[in-house]
Amino acid sequence: MKANGDTGAAKNIDNKNANMVAITKNKAEFNYDKERPKRAGSWMRLYSLSRLKLDLNKLISGPDCKHTEDNVKALHKQVSAKYCEIFPSINVKGTIKHLQLLPHELKEYEAQTEKVLKRYLKRLQWLLSGSRRVFGNIVHTKCMILVDTSGSMDPYMNELKQELASLVWDQLYRLGARFNVVRFSGNCENWFDRLQPATQENCHDAVNWSSKFKASGNTCTLEALKMAFDDPEIEAIYMLTDGKPDTSTSLILREVGEWNNERNIQINTISFNCSDSTANNFLKLLATQTGGRFHMCHSDFDAQLFAHKLLTEGFGDTEYPHLPEFEGDDLRRLGQEIALARKYLAQARQYRSLYQSKVSTSEKPASNKGNAPPFIVGRPRTSAR
C-alpha cells in the first residue's frame, strides 16, 4: 500500500529529466558575449534567471510533488510516501517538497549560475563606467539633454563639463543619435533650436559650447522641460539636476502630463550629488509618470570594488561582500538579480549537502529493520517480500 504522496513524486521523477534538460540547455544557448540590447530593461528581460530557466524554486520540484503523510486505515497509522526515503525533503516557500534534482544536476546548476553571476557583475561594472556612471545608459536615438547649471552646481561644474564631454563622445556619437542640449538655471539656453546629428563636427561644437557653462541662479525646471517639448522630433528627455525645482513639483507633474498626453515622451531623470529625499522623490515620480527611468549618480566606488572582489576571488562566500544598495532603476534591478543568484547558489550547495547527510544516515545500521538494503541516491529500495 502506498500513500498518495507517491503519485505526485512518481510524476515528478519524469519532470526531473526535463529540469536537467533545461539546465543543460542554458549552457548551450546563453551567449554571454552577445551584443547588449539597446534598452536597459530588455537586457534584464533577456538574461534574468527566470528567462534563462535558472529559477531554482521551479527546478527543484514540481507543484504535485509534496511531502505528505497519509492515514492508512488498514494499518491504523500515518504512513509516509515511499519516495520520502529516496529524495531529501526541503522547504520551498513554506511547503515541504521532495528534492528532485540529483547531486550532479545540482552541481551543473551551480556552474551555470556562477557563469550568469559573472555576466551580471561585468554588466554592473559596465553600467558604472564612463559617462554611464553619471548619466546612466542612453538608449534613445532622438533625445534632449537637460543640464542643471544653477548656483548649487558650482562645486561640481568642472566635473560636470568633463562628464558631458564623455557623454557626447562615449554614448551619443557611438549611438549615432540626433540630440540637443539645454542648460537651465534662472533661465534656459539651448545649443540648437532642433535636434542635430552626432557627427564629429557637431560633437566637437557641443563639447565646446558646454565647456563655457557657469553655475548661477535658481532652477527653472518647468521652463527647461517646456523648451524640450517644443521640439516635435524628440523621443526622450534626459534631465540632470542636483535639487528641487524653483516651482511647485505638483505643477510640473501636472503640466508635463498635459503636454505628454499624446506624445508619450519618456523623461529619464538623473539625480546628481543630491541627498534631498523630497527632490529625489519628485524625480522618481516624473520618470515613472512618463515611462522613463530614474538614475542616481554614485560618486563612491563601493559597487566597483564589490564586483571586482567577486570576479577575482570567486563565489565561495555567497553573503560577503555585501552588495551596496542602489536607488537608480537599472542598477537596482541588476542588483536584485545578483542578490537572487547568490541566494540560489547558496541553496543549491545546501541541497547538495543534504544528499551526503542522507547517505550517511542510511549507512548506519538500524536495529528494527533487519538486513535492509543500503540507501542509494535516486533509486527506490526493493520492497520486502
Across the range 159-167, mean pLDDT stands at: 97
Q: How confident is the model at residue 248 (pLDDT cuts 50, 70, 90)?
A: very high
Q: How confident is the model at residue 35 (pLDDT cuts 50, 70, 90)?
A: very low
Q: How confident is the model at residue 42 (pLDDT cuts 50, 70, 90)?
A: confident
Residue 124: pLDDT over 90: yes
Return the bridge partners of 144, or none: 180, 237
More confident residue, 71 or 338: 338
Cell of 284: 522618481
Alpha-carbon Rg for the chain in angstroms: 29
**Under CATH, which number does the domain 132-296 receive?**
3.40.50.410
Handedness of CA 147, 131, 304, 116 (dihedral sign): positive
Q: Where in the chain are the domains?
A: 5-101+330-362, 132-296
pLDDT of residue 322: 86
Cis preceding-peptide flag for 321 (omega within 30 of 0) = yes
Cβ(294)–Cβ(283) under 8 Å?
A: yes
Of 18-32, 70-84, 309-323, where does the model show the most confidence?
Answer: 309-323
User: Average pLDDT, whole number, for the chain?
Assistant: 82
Cβ(287)–Cβ(241) under 8 Å?
A: no
pLDDT of residue 263: 94
Closest CA to 191 of 137, 139, 147, 222: 147
Cell of 194: 532642433
More confident residue, 372 or 69: 69
Across the range 43-69, mean pLDDT stands at: 78
Cell of 333: 534591478
Q: How confident is the model at residue 297 (pLDDT cuts 50, 70, 90)?
A: confident
Instruction: Give the whole-angstrom CA distance, residue 160 versus residue 135.
Output: 10
pLDDT of residue 6: 47
Alpha-carbon torsion angle 262, 268, 269, 272, nearest 10: -160
What is the share, in percent, of the chain residues with pLDDT greater than 70? 71
Ranges 42-46, 141-145, 189-193, 212-216: which has the least confidence? 42-46
pLDDT of residue 382: 46
Instruction: Give the whole-angstrom CA distance, residue 131 versus residue 138.
Output: 9
Return the bridge partners of 241, or none: 271
pLDDT of residue 372: 43
Name the region of 176 (left: φ>0; alpha: ψ -120 to 50; beta: rest): left
pLDDT of residue 121: 94
Q: What value, to the nearest 5°, has the Cα angle with vertex 154 and ends 148 and 159?
A: 80
Instruction: Give the whole-angstrom CA distance, residue 251 versus residue 265.
Output: 18
